[in-house]
Amino acid sequence: MKVQFGSRIRATGAMAAVAVLAVACGGGNTPGTGGVPKIGVVLTYNLPGFWANYLKYEDTYKTQLNVELIGPKVANVEANGNEVAQQILDVKSLIAQGVQALIVNPADSSAIAPALDYAKSKNIPVVTVDVAPDQGSVYMIVRADNTAYGTKSCDYIASHASSPGTIAMVEGDLTSLNARDRADGCTKVIASKYPNFTVKSYQTKNWGTDPAVQNATTALTAISNLRGIYVHWSVPEDGIIAAMKSKNKYTDVGAANHIALVGNDGSPHECDLIRSKNLDATIDQPADKYAYYAIYYAKQAIAGTKYSAGQATDHNSSILTVAGNLEDGLAAPLVTLAGDAGATQVNSTDLWCNNK
Amino acid sequence: MATTTRVATRQGAAGRVALRWFRELTLVPVIVLLMIGGAIVNPVFFTTSNLIDVATGGAALGLVVVAESLILLTGKFDISLQGTFGLAPLLGAWLIAPKASEGLGTEWSPWIGLLIVLLVGLVVGTFNGVLVIKANFNAFIFTLAMSILLTGLQLGWLGGKTVYHLPQVYIYLGSDSWFGIPAAVWVTTLVFVVAELFLRYHRVGRAMYAIGGNLEAARAAGIRVDSIRIGVFMVASVLAAVAGLMQAGRVTAVTAGQGSNLIFGVFAAAVIGGVSLDGGRGRMVGALTGVILLALVTNILTLSNISSTWIDAVDGAIILLALGVARLIGTERT
């Protein structure tokens, strides 16, 4: 009890700081007891650009949804290497600070289980964002269908190629379910729909930018019938384009014998690259919707709302079951300049890249 | 000039010279073996284009290896070179990139950005040098702490964001080519050559060997031991900053993780290349073979499509093998 009392004082201190900021916006100076739900946030920074944008949206939506967010506690993947242990500590410390629900982006699909079990033992509901845990129970997973990322990306490359050939896939960190799903989606759609194409995979540890560019560079050299490069995330794209240019293998999107480049994330910079015909396509991984629905479901969890598998949502998705947990599989469209064949046009205001 | 150095030079008779070259080139058999392996793994290996890829991949690492080797020769080392490698280009990029690419938004001229990169290197190097040499801090623990600090700043400054879409001037070193070969490769080669010649023929270069070999003797011989050692720290940090810029130019972005774990590869390349951790022994030619070896390993592993989860294990095994060969032949005595 003493511990909890002590931490409550600390939490109040933190809230007082938040309240000072809130006064300017007309918020009252009554920390803690005003009925505003308190939600703890635990993130990783495995894709820095994406999460930086996520945090920006989180700031907007916490006011809109009237919740108080504590955190984010960030375990940095590239710098530490012990991020899972860090996340377990973060979860415990936030619960000790009296949060009523948690938003977690697990650094590892399996290793997050002890943190989830701990939260469950304290009756604190957890919403995971972007990553589905392999085990442990959560209230809701807010995530896009990552298998579809791979399917749509490689389908695009194969269907736009002038003749059959090879697709180089620069994979993200395969310890994450997201990278595995994207890889699966790509290889499966090529195997089933485009038997004349082959996929050559290059793995990248820790989503490292430099190794990814190096992998793509090797692919450009090693594969003579290269039709396209599918890179699982956006950061290496500029480097890959530079590598194509230095090897005289670069052409604008739409040119004859063009080697396609498709990334995933849907960042503002990617949308610029698509407009300037440097990048063929991306997948809009909706940072804004991730932030909104993570908070939304955390709030619903505190209110005690129940969801069930198969239920349709009001935002063009439905509730699925993933490893025993419910998931709101958010729509993540392919984004291209033409915007045909089911893709979204790059200037659409539905995309988070245009929603600055 | 140090008597020890002069004696060493006089002993450099033809036989000795041959032996020394032999020692510098102990890694060559390993490199030849690797190249044969590479050719078997993938016929693309021996194409000009792929060999240029290898060189490009090793260029930034090579520059840091020169930097670290210079410090090692004088009997110290600097772990924080990897922190400088990340932080310097990040700060420069942050000040010149527009807000949309996660910059500060001041959009200063890229030339100022380049200046800041060099300045960060110079400041960190001076700080390390003065405190390790003059204040006599333990080089290992001091530069380790510096490294953690710099990497932490790199992460904390922008909250883990990547600065991307950098101006042409800023990425020139890492992205442009001269006569079909990347500028980075030319620059690194030039730095190796200059460092080798400097160490062999310049008064200060030879003094560095004397300092690393026997500090007190060098001091007694009238060498300005402290100034030289601090100067080496400064030059090394600037080189590491330029190497970071090179890497940033190649991927046209600076990530918050740039440089993390780089230093292990740097030490590995220097040591298997015959640069002694105890100071006073080693040559740039040897260090270069170390860099070539590591770059080849990375390239061959990529060409062979080995699972990335195994790359570290294979890397480690090959470094151990190279150490074993060096030991057998007798260059590596530490």
| pLDDT tens, position by position, B52-66 | 989 998 999 999 999
CA distance B44 to chain A (A): 6
Residues of A with CB under 8 A from a CB of B: 45, 48-49, 51-52, 55, 74, 76-79, 174, 200-206, 208-211, 213-215, 217-218, 221-222, 235-236, 238-239, 241-242, 246-247, 268-269, 272
Query: Does residue A2 sit within a domain?
Result: no
CA distances from B16 to A281, B4, B7, B22 (A): 62, 16, 13, 10
So what's the pLDDT on residue B16?
A: 63
* Residue in chain A nearest B61 by alpha carbon: A210
* A97 and A158 share one domain: no
Can you tell me the mean pLDDT for B59-79? 95
Q: Are residues B61 and B192 in contact, defined by beta-carbon separation less than 8 angstroms? A: no
Mean pLDDT of the B117-121 span = 96
Q: Mark yes or no for CB contact A52/B160 under 8 Å.
A: yes
Listed residue (B197, B178, B194) closest to B186, CA to CA: B178
What is the extent of the structural domain holding A172? 146-285+334-354
Contact A217 B162 (CB under 8 A): no
Q: Would you call B308 and A268 a contact, using CB atoms and an 8 Å cutoff?
A: no
| Inside any domain, residue A39 | yes
Is the pLDDT at B113 greater than 60? The verdict is yes
Distance CA A21, CA A69 (A): 13
Residue A46: list chain B partners with CB under 8 A.
none
CB contact under 8 A, B47 and A269: no
Residue B209 backbone phi and psi in degrees, to 5: -65, -40
Domain assignment of residue A4, yes or no: no
pLDDT at A24: 39
User: How close B310 gets to chain A, by Cα (Å)?
Assistant: 10
Q: What is the CATH number for A60?
A: 3.40.50.2300
DSSP H helical segments within B160-283, as ranges?
Answer: 168-175, 183-201, 203-213, 215-220, 225-251, 262-272
Instruction: Say whether both A115 and A179 belong to one domain.
Output: no
Q: Is residue A15 over pLDDT 70?
A: no
Among the listed ranges A110-119, A170-179, A215-224, B125-134, which one has the minimum average pLDDT value?
A170-179
Residue B152 pLDDT? 86
Residue B5 near chain A (CB below 8 Å): no
Average pLDDT over residues A217-226: 92
Same domain, A164 and A271: yes
Most confident segment among A92-106, B183-197, B241-255: B183-197
A220 and A342 in a single domain? The answer is yes
Averaged pLDDT of chain A: 83
Q: Where are the alpha helices (DSSP H) in B74-159?
A: 81-96, 110-129, 139-157
At B292 the pLDDT is 94
Q: Chain A contacts of B152, Cβ < 8 Å?
A: 79
Residues A272 and A225 in one domain: yes
Position B308 scores a pLDDT of: 66
* Residue A167 scores a pLDDT above 90: yes
Q: Which chain A residue lies closest to B178 (C-alpha atoms)? A: A246
pLDDT at B207: 94
Q: Has residue A48 been placed in a domain?
A: yes
User: Minimal Cα–Cα distance from A52 to chain B, Å?
Assistant: 6
Beta bridge partners of B205: none
CA–CA dist A57, A79 (Å, integer): 25
Q: What pLDDT is stored for residue A208 in this prediction?
A: 82
Contact (CB<8Å) B101/A269 = yes
User: Which residue reads 């950005």 in tokens?
Assistant: B113
Across A185-211, average pLDDT? 91
Smallest Cβ distance to B257: which of A49, A78, A241?
Answer: A78
Q: What is the ipTM of this complex?
A: 0.76
Of A48, A174, A217, the CB nearest to B255: A48
Q: Please count the structural domains in chain A.
A: 2
Q: Against a cut of 0.90, is the pTM above it? A: no
CB < 8 Å to A78, chain B: 255-257, 260
A203 assigned to some structural domain: yes
- pLDDT at site B240: 97
Q: Mean pLDDT score of chain B, rounded to an integer?
A: 86
Compare CB distances from B251 to A78, A201, A213 and report the shortest one's residue: A213
CB B241 within 8 A of CB B69: no
Q: How much is the average pLDDT of A153-160?
A: 95
Residues from chain A that touch B171, judged by Cβ atoms under 8 A, are: 242
Residue B326 CA, chain-centre distance (Å), reads 20
Query: Would you place residue A14 in the very low, low, confident or very high pLDDT band (cuts 50, 70, 90)?
Result: very low
Give the span between the Cα atoms of A201 and A184, in whole angstroms: 11
Reduced to 3 states (helix: H, G, I; strand: E, B; else coil), residue B163 is: strand
Which residue in B51, B168, B255, B307 has the most chain A C-beta atoms within 10 A of its own C-beta, making it the best mutation to test that interface? B255
The class (CATH top level) of B3-329 is mainly alpha
**% of chain B residues with pLDDT over 70:** 89
Q: Which of A78, A200, A242 sits opposite B252 (nearest CB)?
A: A242
CA gap B312, B321 in Å, rounded: 14
For residue A205, pLDDT beyond 70: yes
Res. A281: pLDDT tops 90: yes
Determine, for residues B56 and A208 on separate chains, whether the beta-carbon distance falls below 8 Å.
Answer: no
Lowest-confidence segment of A31-35, A69-73, A79-83, A281-285 by average pLDDT: A31-35
Nearest to B80, CA basis, from B141, B21, B3: B141
Judged by CB atoms closer than 8 Å, whether chains meet at B42 and A217 is answered as no
Q: Which residues of A touch B53 (CB under 8 A)?
A: 214, 217-218, 221
Q: Is the pLDDT of residue A200 over 80?
A: yes
Query: For A229-258, what is the mean pLDDT?
Result: 92
Summarised one tens digit per residue, pLDDT across range A93-145 is 899 888 999 999 988 788 888 899 999 999 999 999 988 888 889 999 998 88
The residue-averaged pLDDT of A257-272 equals 91
- Contact between chains at A239 and B303 (C-beta distance less than 8 A): no
Same domain, A81 and A106: yes
Under 8 Å between Cβ of A266 and A284: yes
pLDDT at A11 over 70: no
Q: Is B314 within 8 Å of chain A by CB?
A: no
The answer as to whether A167 is a domain residue is yes
Written as six digits, the tokens of A318 are 């439905």
pLDDT of A283-296, one tens digit each? 998 888 899 999 99
pLDDT at A175 (0 to 100): 75
Residue A76 has what pLDDT? 62
pLDDT average, residue stretch A153-168: 94
Of A71-75, B20-24, B230-234, B309-313, which one has max mean pLDDT? Answer: B230-234
Do residues A186 and A272 share a domain? yes
| Burial class of residue B245 (count of CB atoms within 10 Å of its CB; 0-12, 13-18, 19+) | buried
Contact B49 A269 (CB under 8 A): no
In a domain, A45, yes or no: yes
Range A266-275 average pLDDT: 89
Q: Does B161 touch chain A (CB under 8 A)?
A: yes
Please give the Cα distance from A152 to B305 (Å, whole number): 24
Does residue A214 register a pLDDT over 80? yes
Based on the fold, state whether residues A40 and A101 are members of the same structural domain.
Answer: yes
- Phi, psi for A259 (deg, rounded to 5): -90, 115
pLDDT bucket at A356, cuts 50 / 70 / 90: low
Under 8 Å between Cβ of B96 and B112: yes
Whether residues A345 and A225 share a domain: the answer is: yes
Q: Contacts from A346-352 at CB under 8 Å and sequence distance 24+?
A: A346/A271, A346/A274, A346/A275, A347/A275, A350/A284, A351/A266, A351/A271, A351/A284, A352/A53, A352/A57, A352/A266, A352/A284, A352/A286, A352/A287, A352/A288, A352/A289
Q: How far is B234 from chain A (nearest CA, A)?
A: 25
Same domain, A227 and A281: yes
Q: Above pLDDT 90, what percent of chain A?
A: 44
| Same structural domain, A167 and A274 | yes
Q: Flag whether A68 is in a domain.
A: yes
Average pLDDT, integer, range A152-179 = 91
Given this model, what pLDDT does residue A317 score?
82
Residue of A51, A203, A235 with shortest CB distance to B308: A203
Of B49, B151, B311, the CB nearest to A247: B49
Question: Roughly what angle, to the nearest 10 degrees, separates helices A237-246 and A268-275?
Answer: 30
Average pLDDT over residues B270-282: 88
Beta bridge partners of A261: A229
Domain ranges of chain B: 3-329
Q: Determine what percent of chain A is predicted with pLDDT higher than 70.
A: 87
Given a cut of 70, is residue A324 above it in pLDDT? Answer: yes
My answer on whether A150 and A188 are in the same domain is yes
